[in-house]
Amino acid sequence: MFICKPYTYTYSILRLFEIALGILFITSAVLKIIEINRFCVQIYAYGVITQKEILPWIATITILIEVSFGFLFLFSFPYRKLIMGLNFLVLLTFTILIIYAWIFNDLKNCGCFGKIEMGPAESVIKNIFLIIISILCFLGVKPLIDEKKNKNTYFVKFYLPLIFLIAITSFFCIQQLRSEQPITENVETNDTNTYSNMKIEIEGISYNLGEGEYLIVLISFGCDHCVEEAPKINEYMLINGLPKIIALCLEESPKEKEEFINKVQPIFPMYSLGNKVRFFLSLIGKEPPRLVYLKQGKIIKYWDYDLPTPEEIITEITK
């Protein structure tokens, strides 16, 4: 089959394009590894993967694909039609997913470069440009001379290093993923007591979420909608008869927290979960905020995205 034969480039500029692709893929993979937990959350934002427990697998596989392509491009893998053809399909798939998420799920950040944000429009333009380069590289080749002689060195030169690189990359991905321990229970059906073992301390006061009644608000300091909804939490604090109110907050940077406090002027106790984005995702629905009514560590009721009125909360509590 012609696509599975070794080739070299007809023009040297195509080799430069190939090297550029390799550098881009390796850079993208490294940035994703550093922020792999955030990358899991960004994958979820596409609205295609709805099972949170498989997000680490999808993230790791995506990174391994990018690392493999980057390595093969940089070190002049001779099966160019094969690898460029696969690269074209991967880029086309990613582009379709970005467009879908952009139209139907209001995607804000494609997640292509880890913490470095890139909007869907810019990402689509970038991918179209890369697809064009891939097509040029696919077409601009000629058969490699001394094919049989070169084949004998492929295992040592390409396959063995690639296997080693995949193993090392997988190791670093697993280590980064283990840095966060998300809740794996089904919080929607409350199969287990998600909050029953949570004990926190805020300004010297200890709270055991497994005992008594609580209203737990899950908010992100960097979320604009959370800022809009947060004044409702201040209102809850002024109403007698409601359970203790605590906000569990995603804090991706001290600046976000400072800006949140300046805008909201919160009078409710806040507990920072730090930058544990995947852990935070495991506690909410698709987007924050989420208000959870807890009784003895068990989720009795929760409200997503738009916080309820005090009357709605009191109605639920007095049932």
pLDDT digits (tens, 9 = 90+) for 194-233: 788 888 889 888 889 888 899 999 999 999 999 999 999 9
* C-beta of residue 181 within 8 angstroms of C-beta of residue 278: no
107: region left, alpha or beta (phi > 0 left; psi from -120 to 50 alpha): beta
State whether 221 and 147 are in the same domain: no
State whether 92 and 62 are in the same domain: yes
The per-residue pLDDT of the chain, averaged, comes to 89
pLDDT at 50: 85
Neighbouring C-beta atoms of residue 141, cutoff 10 Å: 19
Whole-model pTM: value is 0.85
Least confident segment among 63-72, 161-170, 173-182:
173-182
State whether 78 and 203 are in the same domain: no
> Does residue 285 belong to any structural domain of this protein?
yes
> Does residue 211 belong to any structural domain of this protein?
yes
* C-beta of residue 8 within 8 angstroms of C-beta of residue 78: yes
- Which of 35, 63, 43, 67 has its CA nearest to residue 180? 35
Q: Where are the alpha helices (DSSP H) in 158-223?
A: 160-178
pLDDT at 28: 96
State whether 24 and 148 are in the same domain: yes
Instruction: Please say which residue of 118, 144, 178 terminates a domain.
Output: 178
Q: How many domains does the chain have?
A: 2
Using CA of residue 277, residue 278, residue 281, residue 286, what is the dihedral sign?
positive
pLDDT at 182 over 90: no
pLDDT at 15: 96
State whether 29 and 169 are in the same domain: yes
Here the CATH number for the domain that contains residue 230 is: 3.40.30.10
Instruction: Please say which residue of 124, 145, 178 terminates a domain.
Output: 178
State whether 208 and 267 are in the same domain: yes
Strands (E), the chain: 7-9, 141-143, 199-202, 205-208, 213-220, 244-250, 270-272, 290-295, 298-304
State whether 160 and 282 are in the same domain: no
State whether 153 and 67 are in the same domain: yes
Task: List, for residues 60-97, the tens digit of each pLDDT value.
Answer: 999 999 999 999 999 999 999 999 999 999 999 999 99
> Does residue 192 belong to any structural domain of this protein?
no
Exposure pattern of 281-311 as b/e (b: 16+ CB <10 Å)?
bbbbeebbbbbbbbeebebebbbeeebbeee
* C-beta of residue 22 within 8 angstroms of C-beta of residue 94: no
Instruction: Write out the residue range of the structural domain in which residue 291 sits.
Output: 199-317
pLDDT at 192: 44
Confidence class for position 191, pLDDT limits 50, 70, 90: very low
Which amino acid, residue 148?
K
State whether 172 and 261 are in the same domain: no
